[in-house]
Amino acid sequence: MTEALNVEQAAARLRQAGSVLILCHKNPDGDTIGCGSALYHALAALGKTAAVLCADPIPPRFAYTAPRLFRGEFEPELVAAVDVAGLQLFGDKGLMPAYSRRVDLCIDHHAGNSGYAQYTLVDAGAAAAAELLCQVIEAMGVELTPQIADCLYTGLATDTGCFRFSNTTARTHRIAARLIEAGARIEALNTRLFATKSRGQMEAERIARSHLEYHLDGRCALIWLDRDETAASGADPSDLEELTSLPIGIEGVKVGLTFRQQPGGSWRVSIRAAHGVDACAIARRLGGGGHLRAAGCELLGTLDNVKQAVLAEAEAVLDAAAEEES
């Protein structure tokens, strides 16, 4: 059983520790990296030994958060995890397994946090773990420097789609205001995080959009990109994730599908669903999985066969959802 802490208690534990190892989740996003880095800079400002450990490399787009990375140089008095809801999310690469089973303090905003740490500060009303960590850092008596503000803003902005998603609250905006006053370079950050695409991404998007099709009486929209087109676009395949939000963003569409052919020839299918439709149910029928609103699977075959297979399952799930509603 974990013991629940409040902001002040969590801050006190961090202040008491002489050295702190900060753990982020695998496949790191802006919130876990932003929090890990902000906490590192805050602890360093207090003269403590601190470093960040993540099972995967920090994506280059977050390089400016500039934490010290842990390479086993010290034995931490305290192990803290940020934005990590459960043990399986730490991953098992490198030094991680040696520390992820002995987390002292977890700071998180997931309602489903499994309570794996000895002490846990969870606030499911926080839009990002950064919203919570900002309060902890202030309670630690650390001044919000521009560097810390940049890191916290990164978590806040990426987890809220830049204040667009429904998790955004009045407090989220107030903390953004504080971070701007503390010197967060929001113009450069927003440009980097949200507004810049490579020419290759633009070209891949142009091709995918030119393949837009409507099916099932307009309840389903799909786009696709085969491997030759991906190669010709010059885009890095890892930069094409945003394509998956295009079809579901069209008026009236309940299921949005994106088909990306992989280098081996198979088709990676990304399924997005509107409120009331279960994307994961569609994916599961095809051997995949995921969440209620975002799921996926990978299929072999010609594009036409793959499309027909996915559309058939989408139709079944859509019809079931319509029946339930009526």
Which of 9, 19, 169, 266 is in the footprint of a copy of itself by CB under 8 A?
169
The Cα–Cα gap between 286 and 298 comes to 8
Question: Looking at 3-11, 71-79, 175-183, 295-303, which segment touches a copy of itself (CB under 8 A)?
Answer: 175-183
178 part of the interface to a copy of itself, by CB under 8 A: yes
From candidates 6, 88, 196, 262, binder to a copy of itself by CB under 8 A: 196
Instruction: Report the alpha-carbon distance of residue 246 to residue 272 in Å, rounded.
Output: 10
Nearer to a copy of itself by Cβ, of 46 and 193: the residue is 193
* Residues between 258 and 297 with contacts to a copy of itself, criterion CB under 8 A: 275
* H/E segment holding residue 99: helix 96-100
What are the residues whose beta carbons fall under 8 Å from the beta carbon of 241, sequence distance 6 or more?
Answer: none
Position among 251, 304, 323, 325 found at the interface with a copy of itself (CB under 8 A): 251
Print burial letters for 240-269: b (CB count within 10 Å at least 16), e (below 16).
beebbebbbeeeebbbbbbbbbeeeeebbb
Cβ neighbours of 73 (radius 10 Å): 9
CA distance linking residue 26 with residue 98, whole number of Å? 15
234 binds a copy of itself (CB under 8 A): no
Among 212, 300, 303, 322, binds a copy of itself (CB under 8 A): 212
**Cα 249 from Cα 80, distance rounded (Å):** 38
- Interface residue with a copy of itself, options 71, 93, 102, 197 (CB under 8 A): 197
Long-range contacts of 171-177 (CB under 8 A, 24+ apart): 171/125, 171/126, 171/131, 172/126, 172/127, 172/128, 172/131, 175/130, 175/131, 175/134, 175/135
Structure-derived torsion over alpha carbons of residues 286, 288, 291, 293, reported in degrees to the nearest 10: -40
* Nearest to a copy of itself of 121, 204 (CB atom): 204
Nearer to a copy of itself (CB atom), residue 79 or residue 235:
235
For residue 120, give the 3-state DSSP assignment: strand
Q: Pick from 16, 60, 170, 238: which binds a copy of itself (CB under 8 A)?
A: 170
- Residue 217 interacts with a copy of itself (CB under 8 A): yes or no: no
With 0-12 / 13-18 / 19 or more C-beta atoms within 10 angstroms meaning exposed / middle / buried, residue 214 is middle
Question: Between residue 28 and residue 67, which ones bind a copy of itself under the rule CB under 8 A?
Answer: none
**Shortest spacing between CB 177 and a copy of itself, in angstroms:** 4
- Between 251 and 325, CB nearer to a copy of itself: 251
C-alpha to C-alpha distance for 156 and 13, rounded to whole angstroms = 24
Q: Residue 209 Cβ, how far from a copy of itself at the closest point, in Å?
A: 5
- Asked if 305 interacts with a copy of itself (CB under 8 A), we say no
Letters for 134-163 (x = contact with a copy of itself by CB under 8 A, - = none) are ----------------------------xx
CA–CA distance, 161 with 167 (Å, rounded to integer): 10
Please tell me whether residue 248 binds a copy of itself under the rule CB under 8 A. Answer: yes
Q: Which range, of 9-17, 94-102, 246-254, 303-311, touches a copy of itself by CB under 8 A?
A: 246-254
Do 287 and 202 meet the contact criterion of CB atoms below 8 Å apart? Answer: no
250 near a copy of itself (CB under 8 A)? yes
The whole-angstrom separation of Cα 100 and Cα 79 is 8
Which stretch in 42-50, 86-94, 194-202, 284-292 sits in contact with a copy of itself by CB under 8 A? 194-202
Enumerate binding residues for a copy of itself (CB under 8 A).
162-166, 168-171, 173-174, 176-178, 180-181, 186-188, 190-191, 194-199, 202, 205-206, 209-210, 212, 214, 245, 248-252, 275
